[in-house]
Amino acid sequence: MGELAELANVTRRTIDYYTNLGLLKAERTSSNYRYYSQESLEDLRFIETCKKQQLSLQEIKELLERKKQGKQSDIVHQANEIANQIHHLKENIEELLPSFESLDEHERNLITKRLSPESISLIHILLMLLG
């Protein structure tokens, strides 16, 4: 907590106050010490900037909640995009698999040598998912 206070140029008491109000969230270590993430530091800096603009703590809390909801919707959107890409890859692999299996070993080796190791790993993972 002292490190967070120093990085944000506030007092420990300020951090306690914001935490009690629900503006900041702390994790607990196994020894029951409070731990603040990088996101907490960003939130603390955001709170201090808002205070300089004469916003009330309630207004700041609402802004923080909207900001976090925006992050969550971005993550959901990105997860949906990845799911769509995986679906398209699955369809492509299903189309290519019969043709690839009809090749002899020499032809298969020529094709796989053109692929990066990461690509081959991803193809294997997708094949396992296809079952």
Residues 42 and 86 in one domain: no
Condensed to tens digits (0 to 9), the pLDDT of residues 54-64 reads 889 999 999 89
Range of the domain at 19: 1-55
CA angle 119, 120, 123 (to 5 degrees): 85
Domain count, the chain: 2
Please, which residues bridge with residue 27 across strands? 35
SS3 32: coil
Asked, for residue 79, whether it belongs to a domain, the answer is yes
Condensed to tens digits (0 to 9), the pLDDT of residues 68-112 reads 887 767 777 777 788 888 888 888 888 888 888 898 999 988 888
Residues 83 and 131 in one domain: yes
